[in-house]
């Protein structure tokens, strides 16, 4: 986890308050019940922000939002994002950071639907969805299933299929031109393949 501590310090500084908040965030991301929303996911989102960061109006807020966006994770869509936004609102003032924009961005990750022209929201949401294009997509899909292991197979397949169909119905999975160039084609192929596999087991 040392690399994450260093990345946090580079972003938030090395004050005692920043160190305490960073340690809390790293510990939250490493909670044992997580299977996909783990430190590896956090690293992936932070990495995916970098090629898009020049498009953001406030890249620091976007990076901070990446740290907070799944800091609270109980497998309850919408609720998790709201609690994570509240965590940002609570912790960031300790670092002298106005939390409003970061909390807004965290809430956006519940639906990945930023308004047109919301450059910060577009960059964060595109980075969060970069996993859809990953060569290791099958491992991602398995990890998502493990995080919802409390859901019966039939109900999970139906719910997951609706999510994937919704993604494929979108004109573009990614909002920024850079993300579309980097990830759109591979992401659509991965999502189609997962959906086909789910429907074959139905």
Whole-angstrom distance, CA of residue 36 vs CA of residue 97? 29
Say whether both 18 and 109 belong to one domain. Answer: yes
Over residues 38-56, the pLDDT tens digits come to: 999 999 999 999 999 999 9
Say whether both 3 and 70 belong to one domain. Answer: yes
Find all residues with CB under 8 Å of 175, minimum gap 6, and list them.
114, 122, 125, 126
Q: Taken in order 90, 91, 95, 97, is the CA torsion positive or negative?
A: negative
Q: 101-135 burial by CB neighbour count: b if 16+ within 10 A, else e?
A: bbbbbbbbbbebebeeebbbbbbbbbbbbbbbbbe
Domain of residue 75 covers 1-128
Say whether both 122 and 157 belong to one domain. Answer: no
Considering only CA atoms, which of 25, 41, 38, 16 is closest in space to residue 88? Answer: 25
Residue whose token pair is 């292991």: 149
Considering only CA atoms, which of 86, 67, 72 is closest in space to residue 11? Answer: 67
Domain count of the fold of the chain? 2
**Per-residue pLDDT for the chain (202 aa), expressed as one digit of tens each?**
679 999 999 999 999 999 999 999 999 999 999 999 999 999 999 999 999 999 999 999 999 999 999 999 988 888 999 999 999 999 999 999 999 999 999 999 999 999 999 999 999 999 999 999 999 999 999 999 998 888 999 999 999 999 999 999 999 999 999 999 999 999 999 999 999 999 998 6
Say whether both 186 and 117 belong to one domain. Answer: no
Instruction: Indicate yes or no: pTM above 0.95.
Output: no
Say whether both 82 and 122 belong to one domain. Answer: yes
């Amino acid at each position: 986890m040392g690399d994450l501590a260093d990345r946090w310090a580079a972003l938030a500084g090395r004050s005692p308050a920043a160190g305490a908040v960073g340690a809390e965030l790293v510990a939250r991301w490493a909670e044992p019940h997580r299977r996909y929303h783990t430190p590896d996911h956090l690293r992936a989102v932070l990495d995916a922000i970098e090629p898009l960061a020049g498009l953001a109006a406030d890249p620091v807020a976007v990076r901070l939002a990446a740290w907070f966006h799944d800091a609270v994770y109980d497998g309850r869509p919408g609720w998790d994002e709201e609690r994570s936004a509240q965590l940002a609102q609570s912790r960031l003032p300790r670092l002298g950071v106005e939390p409003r924009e970061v909390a807004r961005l965290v809430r956006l990750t519940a639906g990945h639907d930023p308004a047109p022209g919301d450059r910060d929201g577009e960059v964060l949401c595109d980075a969060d969805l970069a996993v859809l294009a990953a060569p290791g997509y099958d491992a991602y899909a398995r990890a998502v299933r493990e995080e919802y292991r409390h859901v019966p197979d039939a109900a999970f397949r139906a719910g997951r299929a609706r999510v994937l169909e919704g993604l494929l119905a979108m004109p573009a999975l990614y909002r920024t031109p850079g993300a579309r160039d980097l990830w759109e084609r591979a992401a659509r192929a991965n999502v189609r393949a997962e959906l086909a596999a789910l429907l074959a087991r139905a």
